[in-house]
Amino acid sequence: MNAEKLRKLNHKSQDDRYFNRELSWLAFNFRVLEESRRSRTPLLDRCRFLTICYSNLDEFFMVRVAGKKRSLRQGSLPGDSPDQMSIPDTLARIHEGTKRLVEDMGQIWNGELLPELKAQNIRLEKLDKLEASAQETLAQYYRETVLPVLTPLAVDPAHPFPFLANRRLYLVVVFKLEKEESAALPPIAFVEVPNVLPRLLPVNTDPNDRVFVMMEDLIATHLDTLFFGMPITAAYPIRVTRNLDFKLMESQVVDLLSSVQTEVKARDQAEAVRLEYGADLLPDLRAYLELRLGLSPEDSYALNCPLSMSDVTLYEIPRDDLKFPSFNPRLPPRMNTQRSIFGLIREEDMLLHHPFESFYAVIELLHTAAWDPDVLAIKQTLYRTSGDSPIIDALILAAEQGKQVTAVVELKARFDESNNITWARRMERAGVHVVYGFVGLKTHCKMTLIVRREDNLLHRYVHLSTGNYNSTTARHYVDIGYITARPAFGEDASLLFNMLTGFNILSRETEGFKPMPSPLHKLIVAPLYLRDELIRMINREIQAHEETGDGLIFAKMNSLVDSALIEKLYEASRSGVRIRLIVRGICCLRPGAAGLSENIEVISIVGRFLEHSRIFYFRNKGANDVYLGSADWMPRNMDRRIEVIFPIDDAKARNRIIKEIIPTYWADTENAWQLHSDGAYTMRSLEAGPKWDSQQKFIEIAREQGIKSLPYDKAIRHDLKRKGRPIVKKVGSRKTVKSED
């Protein structure tokens, strides 16, 4: 990694106590990209990280850059970053940083990945370099499968410039002028590369010598079948990114579901924010495309790697020797029994560290509840869930069994709006009470409440988590879940669900809103109290340090942007409190600055799994308070989302976080990047001790302490007729149970 690049990305602006939010995000994506060149990362995983970097950049432009452009058009010059960099300056520096990023992507693809893939007998070849027999086989595939789905889009007086869909790959086809004195630009047409067909076309069937051709190369070779008799001179790949940062007119919303559906449909016609093109595109043609798309040269980027890199699915090649070793998540040892999961939770709270410990435990809880005749009600928040979701199936099954089932579905979960609407409709048809949250607030908390009748009394079981109810991402995202039967948690969860399904009394912008003492005993909820409570806990640590001299704050999160919380951390640092932060993505706090943040260290962990858990620890004179939750320290989480932070009251679980999880993360030398006071990130190295990979260590801990089960992918393909029987059949001792390690 060229640290100087990241140092320049974060150079000083109006307030040098902060880093710029957007440039900090670009620095994060550079760290993701670095995983694609690290020799310790298996080759196909390096290719996967390159596609992740590309996808991240797509979302950044569709949301953050698009939002900046919209604000600029509306006359707003100040940005929303704590450093107060103006929008024009921010956009200029985004362009500078993005150019460097895509240049690095091209260099890694051409200079490192392609040669190493070739050395492993995985090749991407040009069609004209293949043997005649292979060319004919692909030509037949083109005629039979590709040609029927292609549509040529000419540009002439009868055919206006077409609408180029968001993130779709096109070939812009250039034709030869009939007369030398004709128009400055030759005739052109567009052909969309269909995303309903594979992008990589296998040339042979030899597993030891895999050769592929790109779909756009096949189409470009046979363009004469689309433009009969027209003399074609060249075809260039291009791709347009459009604004997907829709903004509901909150004051005008009458029906939230209808409004979100309307906005999602309107995205198809959203304005362009970026043009990507192959490096050999003619300058005059590029200028013409920019004009027609309403873009400037600063919005255009030349790529030396395939456009729509996310579709280049090399990771799907079945070469396990070129991927991280497989790992089948373990179950907590307490689940090695035929006893009901409710009995286990009544005895002791359950802490689940995903993906090292299986998300199946949560699925087992919900499906057991769905079949259990003593369970009367299930309530759950849903922000994002998987396509074939055992979570949704459990809620539907419970409703069909006559239980009271409520799902608080967040329709405004970005890029999952359509998916959430589909699942919401399906649940409604099954009898689930579906609530769509509030106008002006996103329901981002992760919470499940199960009400069960036991000995003629009602008992409540609560699951709280840092991550979504998504059985697919649960295998790749690092999150922590907490299941408890403690009465105070159950009472709080009941009250909060009543707030979520009732009138909006949570938004500070609600007419007649008046701050009131929290009616909750354990849960800390945004936007009502979260920022104030975090500030109170930091103040308490400052005071404790004055008394004991050993004040300590540890926080792990995805992003740190909120200026009020950053200022309070600066104050704690100046007071002598030692502060350790793990911030995976955006960090606007400047650590290690003299007289400001000398006692603050910041690292970012980027590795095999996506670090998504939020952990907050305050030493508090030895009380050792630990909180988990769904909220990052950003203004949107504090003010515009319904979030929950919850304490870990179980001593065993709390000690596990303090003595195992936090130290394991902080010792990392393999995945950790150190943030310096000048804004540069460098790979972290500790003065003494062996190399330490925190994620691999958690795998080892899970293997040593957990119990094996059926492979995770099989476990979550549950049988709805099992009537409460465990999905994972435990057979005697661990040695008799097969695993996919």
Cα 363 from Cα 727, distance rounded (Å): 9
Reduce the secondary structure of 418-446 to three states and give it as a string: HHHHHHHHHHHHHCCEEECCECCEEECCE
Cα 418 from Cα 409, distance rounded (Å): 12
For residue 402 the two structure tokens come to: 């006559």
CB 360 within 8 A of CB 715: yes
The conformational region for residue 709 under phi > 0 = left, psi -120 to 50 = alpha, else beta, is beta
Residue 216: which of 240, 234, 242, 241 has the closest Cα? 234
In sequence order, the β-bridge partners of residue 674 are 603, 682
The alpha carbon torsion through 176, 182, 183, 184 (nearest 10 deg) reads 70
Residue 62: which of 251, 196, 239 has the closest Cα? 239
In sequence order, the β-bridge partners of residue 330 are 357
CB 605 within 8 A of CB 694: yes
In sequence order, the β-bridge partners of residue 625 are 618
Cα 213 from Cα 225, distance rounded (Å): 19
Crossing angle of helices 417-430 and 390-400, in 10° steps, is 20
Neighbours of 621 (CB within 10 A): 15
Strand 404-409 versus strand 375-382 pairing type: parallel
CB 446 within 8 A of CB 383: yes
CB 461 within 8 A of CB 450: yes
Cα 375 from Cα 654, distance rounded (Å): 29
For residue 473 the two structure tokens come to: 């991402």
Cα 596 from Cα 590, distance rounded (Å): 9
CA distances from 567 to 14, 563, 591 (A): 16, 6, 12
CB 87 within 8 A of CB 77: yes
Q: Is 718 marked active-site?
A: no
CB 24 within 8 A of CB 112: no
In sequence order, the β-bridge partners of residue 560 are 587, 633
Check 353, 354, 444, 463 and give the catalytic one. 444
Catalytically annotated residues: 444
